[in-house]
Amino acid sequence: MTMTSTFTTAEEREAILDAVRDYAEAELAPFAIERDEKHLFPRDALHRGGELGLGGIYVREESGGTGLSRLDTVAIFEELAKGDPTIASYISIHNMVAWMIDTYGDDVQRADWLPKLTVMREFGSYCLTEPGAGSDAAAITTSAVRDGDDYVLTGVKQFISGAGESSVYVVMARTGATDSGARGISAFLVSDGTPGLGFGALEKKMGWHAQPTRQVIFDGVRVPASAMLGDEGKGFAIAMSALNGGRLNIAACSLGGAQWALDRAVAYIHERVAFGEPLAEKQSILFTVADMRTDLQAARLMVRDGAQAVDDHAPDATMRCAMAKRFATDAGFDVANRALQLHGGYGYLQDYGIEKVVRDLRVHQILEGTNEIMRLIVGREMLRPAGSASMRSSS
């Protein structure tokens, strides 16, 4: 079944999620350990996901996407991550790029890129972070200097997922003065193969082995002024608006990966006997599993709340997304780690897949804004009178 519109009925929603589960079970789960071990980027599997509609989940239908709500989107990413959190997370980043082009691009940019991105015949990457400007994104130094009808980009981006595989890079670069902060940043669409565009070596990472991560290097990359995405000086706002959805998607991927690990732990507990007693009859084990399930459900509700806030264009959507991302990625990693502990020594073996999920989910607490930055967002909002009032009204 191909996803074709915003969910309107419970039956349609379940049918689409069934299709996503089938895809995850057929294309992701059976190969997750091998792809992790051999660092294989599954282009063909992603192409087939594109045929299902996974390349533009919340891109508008008139732009070739599926036009689904953010509430529906997080349910989809949770199911994808049960198959493989690494690939689900990459699909999230790709969807951020497609959404940015749909939302801020002009007719030509949408026509050029979205037909290929929404079906994942080609891939997209999001280029914000720099070696010297991690959480302080407004301090980026990659420059875009106007030269006639062109801009010339110079600088380096760090930790870019899909680098070297993508056809289009959404790049945040400074068009204003060096001290202009967030107001001096603009966004550009840079095509693969543009002279001066290069890549660093593949990063050797703790997890996410099946998706490539490299530096993206801009050595006098010349792009036409028409490659600017949105208005000059609005790049930082564009980048931040995309992160609301990205944070929810990554939070949902943490839920899916952790739920898979919890399910494996429950199955293992039923099979094992220790000190002459089944593990399933030990009260300490029951309490652990109960806490794991409770934590995941609490996180799931927070992610849904954040998604609803984005769908409703709520004024406190950024804060609610930040809370959801922080809580869900912390809970997801903790649940996966406890699932490993419940497996004992077997949890540490690659064949069981638990240790892979633990490694994969650890980075979710860092990317799309570290969880320390999520606390900063929430704390600053709470110290504003309007923020405090918003929290009181929603309690």
All residues at 6 or more sequence positions from 53 whose CB lies less than 8 Å from its CB, including other chains? 2, 3, 4, 65, 66, 118
368 catalytic residue (yes or no): yes
Its pTM stands at 0.93
Cα(279)–Cα(288) distance, rounded to whole angstroms? 12
One of 27, 130, 165, 368 is an active-site residue; which one?
368
Spatial contact of 337 and 358, defined as CB atoms under 8 Å apart: yes
Q: Describe the chain by its helix, strand, coil percentages, rounded to 5.
A: 60, 15, 25
End-to-end CA distance of the chain: 39
Distance CA 113, CA 77 (A): 23
Classify the C-alpha dihedral 122-109-200-161 as positive or negative: negative
Cα separation, 237 vs 301, whole angstroms: 27
Per-residue pLDDT of the chain (395 residues; tens, 9 = 90+): 455 445 557 888 889 999 999 999 999 999 999 999 999 999 999 999 999 999 999 999 999 999 999 999 999 999 999 999 999 999 999 999 999 999 999 999 999 999 999 999 999 999 999 998 877 888 899 999 999 999 999 999 999 999 999 999 999 999 988 888 889 999 999 999 999 999 999 999 999 999 999 999 999 999 999 999 999 999 999 999 999 999 999 999 999 999 999 999 999 999 888 787 888 888 999 999 999 999 999 999 999 999 999 999 999 999 999 999 999 999 999 999 999 999 999 999 999 999 999 999 999 999 999 999 999 999 999 998 766 565 555 54
Place of tokens 């993508």: 166
The one-letter amino acid at 164: G
